[in-house]
Amino acid sequence: MDRERKAPDVVVRRLPLYLRALKVLDHNELPIISSEQLAQMVGTSAGQVRKDLSYFGVFGKQGVGYQTAALRDEFRRILKLDHEIRVGLIGVGNLGAALVRYHQKSPVHRPLQIAALFDSDPKKIGRKFAEVEVFSMEQLPEKITEFQIKLMILAFPATNVQEVVDLCVAKGVKSFLNFVPAPIRIPAGVKLHTSDVTMELQSLAYYT
Mean pLDDT by 10 residues, the chain (208 residues): 69 94 90 94 94 83 83 93 94 94 76 95 95 97 98 94 98 96 94 89 88
* CA–CA dist 114, 175 (Å, integer): 14
What pLDDT, on a 0 to 100 scale, did the predictor assign at position 109? 61
- 1 sits in which H/E element: none
* pLDDT recorded at residue 199: 83
pLDDT of residue 192: 96
- The closest of 28, 27, 26, 45 to 36, measured between CA atoms, is 45
Domains of the chain (ranges, CATH numbers): 9-78 (1.10.10.10), 85-201 (3.40.50.720)
pLDDT, position 4:
45
pLDDT given for residue 1 in this prediction: 42
The CB density around residue 119, as the number of other CB atoms within 10 Å, is 23
pLDDT of residue 62: 65
Q: Which residues pair with 112 in a beta bridge?
A: 85
**Planar angle of CA 31, 33, 38, nearest 5 degrees:** 140
Give me the sign of the Cα torsion angle 7, 10, 13, 17: negative
**Residue 3's pLDDT is what?**
47
Prediction pTM value:
0.86
**What is the predicted pLDDT for the residue at 2?**
44
CA angle, residues 118, 121, 126, in degrees to nearest 5? 60
